[in-house]
Amino acid sequence: MSLSICTECLSRLRISSTTPKSLAITAATWTQSTSFHSSAAQYKSPLLKKKTSQSGSGPPRARQSQSARLKKKSRDRPKLPPVGERRAQRRRIVLSNTNALPVSDLETWSKENLVDEKFVGHMLALDGGLLDQLRDSGAFKTTQNWSLFRRPATLIREETLRIAKEMQDVKQEGEKKKVIKHLITGEKASGKSVLLLQAMSMAYMDHWIVLNVPEAQDFVNNTSSYAPLRHAEDESEHMYIQPHLTQLLLTRVATSNESVLKSLKLNHAHPKTLSLKNNSTLLDLAQKGAGDHHLSWQAWQAFYKELTEPGKDQRPPVLLAADGVEHWMGPTAYRDSDHKILHAHRFMLVKQFVNLLFTGNTGNTLPFINGGMVLFSTSGSNTPACPTFKLILSQMRAFQEHSISPAHPDFPLPKPYSKPDPRVLALSGPATRGDLNLLELKGLNNLESKGYLEYFAKSGLLHRRITDGLVSEMRGLSAGGVVGELAKLSRRVIA
């Protein structure tokens, strides 16, 4: 049978690999959609997370970091210190430095050499048992230079010898007791707090009862609890008590005077709420208030009565010391129920202590029935604005140093149109009566400055030979021998 196409044409025939564009698309491949709706996606969703290639499986992509990716370790956050640890660290007192050189010829301050004039201008060391009593009473301050030396020691000044002789006179008065009162003033770093410490040291060595208020500002800065007194002496205004501060005061009294208080029996009957036995001592009474702040005010009233009222058993002399008393001469940070500012004299403890300083020593107004001493000190570095109290200080200087009586025309008076504090101004009369002495501390003299510098040199802090010229130079650079400024110059190591 013959073909309808020739063989040559059949050999030219080629089958195409691509489908012609004109080829009709079958209905099965059509995308099913509905009118007025978006079409379904025909490709993979771009929202899906792309697979990351394994490390080392291929070359790095563009703008991809080639550094090793390390997992961050979870860091342990430091825990907060326990409550009160930071305050204890801030108020920590260091009384010894093992890096300092020991002073071989340093003598110990004892009861036998309290009034010895040959030790004026010398440094005397404090005994170990005395250090415990001073620490318990809060006599040491962080601003003092106790941590610079191998052994704590203090400089005997002329004012120290004066107070020692007055304490000896108080104990030798016999039946006629007296209370000596001093208001210590002076510029900053003149040694006021150290003089209070020296007075407390002599009182402890002579077996006195010591009441110490380390910081008067604690009674007025609104950091402690307070409550109105139910049965106030003056009904015209409400008086307030401070239970926790009273508890701290009794704690210091009980711990620092334990050896004296445990041998003193009670002379008076006290409230049954204190639960005291018949053979209780003053130490038991103080510990009752120190153990519970709810009973602290009643315990303090009973303790104060034992010291100020006569009884069958004799009491030793009492030393009351307070530092920074300007804070007690003005308004406080406390407020009453009507949100009005309370004055410092509306607190019972403050009022009692202020009355002890500004009351007379005649008749029934003797502060302590068996004699004693009241030492109040101002502060040069933490001084509030008390213009009325400054006026009283100027009146005391005019009366004692210049013999200007209150009736003299040159006697300091309040400025016209000023508004003096009436509570503080009422203390002007007792302050200029003569019972209160204004003890103003100034710079050290040549003898005291030389002894102070020699102690720094023997301890290895001052690398210079102590001569009269060096003493004069140091006194000139320290504003006339101000003991705090002299210590700053002396502790600079000079080769």
pLDDT tens track, the chain, 495 positions: 455 566 666 566 555 555 454 445 444 455 555 555 555 555 666 666 555 555 555 665 666 666 666 777 788 888 899 998 998 999 899 999 999 999 999 999 999 999 999 999 999 999 989 999 999 999 999 999 999 999 999 999 999 999 999 999 998 866 678 899 999 999 999 999 999 999 999 999 999 999 999 999 999 999 999 999 876 555 678 899 999 999 999 999 999 999 999 999 999 999 899 989 888 999 999 999 999 999 999 999 999 999 999 888 889 999 999 999 999 999 999 999 999 999 999 999 999 999 999 886 654 567 888 899 999 999 988 899 999 999 999 999 999 998 999 999 999 999 999 899 999 999 998 888 878 999 999 999 999 999 999 999 999 999 889 999 999 999 999 999 999 999 999 886 554
Distances from the Cα of 238 to the Cα of 107, 151, 242, 327, 354, angstroms: 53, 49, 13, 20, 18
- In angstroms, the CA 408 to CA 403 distance is 10
pLDDT at 156: 97
- In angstroms, the CA 441 to CA 199 distance is 14
Residue 56, phi-psi category: left (phi > 0), alpha (psi -120 to 50), beta (remainder): left
Residue among 156, 144, 82, 152 at smallest CA distance from 119? 156
Beta-carbon count within 10 A of 83 CB? 7
pLDDT at 457: 94
pLDDT at 306: 94
pLDDT at 194: 97
Which pair of structure tokens corresponds to residue 492?
């600079």
Please enumerate in sequence order all residues whose Cβ is within 8 A of that of 434, keeping only pairs 6 or more positions apart, or say none.
399
Rg (CA), the chain: 42
Beta-carbon count within 10 A of 70 CB? 6
pLDDT at 59: 63
- In angstroms, the CA 460 to CA 99 distance is 9
